[in-house]
Chain A
């Protein structure tokens, strides 16, 4: 049973557009919600992360929106660039071990020039 559900599976966006990826979870013990970016042949790299005490976090073109009551969070990539083309994973982890991640199934983003 997947503890973090991610959608869409794939996404095509024009350069300069907004990419939006959504995730949902059930376990209320989750306390840390990172997004990872993975390029082919590479390990995942942390992009941005949020804790449930805030509803939004922004770093450059990347924003996480968090809705604790709905148990949902999303990644917005503003002004998407071809270099952003990668697979994105949302994840969640419990407070007792915040690097023990439950990952979503991934979204393959293709930003067209």
Chain B
């Protein structure tokens, strides 16, 4: 499968615990995006990377959230001291930006439930 891969697909955690999600983009894609989708809503932009550089962060991304993309390949999104309000689907998308610009391809998401 050469699409965007996210792991895990589901995560249940207790309030106050830390969680980390992983996204593997399409291999040649240099841009990687994180979105959050709550039930019945459209996805909301969180942050994006061009290669390994994190270029923009939404105000939705509180200090408890951190994202990395070491070496411009896979990315991780960590949430520290989880709260019930963090329960959502976390979506990753990747695209190619350069001489050829592609659409964004989304992964299947990681569904986080904080209990």
Contacts and interface: CB of A to CB of B under 8 A. Distances in A.
Interface of A: 4, 6, 34, 36, 41-46, 49, 89, 91, 97-106
A45 B48 CA distance: 19
Given A98-B101, A99-B93, A45 B44 contact: no
A43 B4 contact: yes
Given A97-B56, A99-B31, A99-B33, A105 B103 contact: no
Contacts of A41: 108
A101 B97 CA distance: 15
A41 B101 CA distance: 27
A106 B40 contact: yes
B62 interface: no
A36 to B, nearest CB: 8
B42 to A, nearest CB: 3
Going nearest first, the 8 A-B pairs with the smallest beta carbon separation are A103-B42, A43-B106, A99-B104, A99-B95, A89-B42, A46-B103, A43-B108, A44-B106
B43 interface: yes
A45 B106 contact: yes
Nearest to B109: A43
Interface in B70-100: 91, 93, 95, 97
Contact of A105 (B31, B40, B91, B104): B40
Given A42-B108, A49-B103, A103 B43 contact: yes
24 contacts: A41-B108, A42-B108, A42-B109, A43-B91, A43-B93, A43-B108, A44-B43, A44-B91, A44-B106, A45-B106, A46-B103, A46-B104, A46-B105, A89-B42, A97-B48, A99-B48, A99-B103, A101-B45, A103-B43, A104-B42, A105-B40, A105-B42, A106-B40, A106-B42
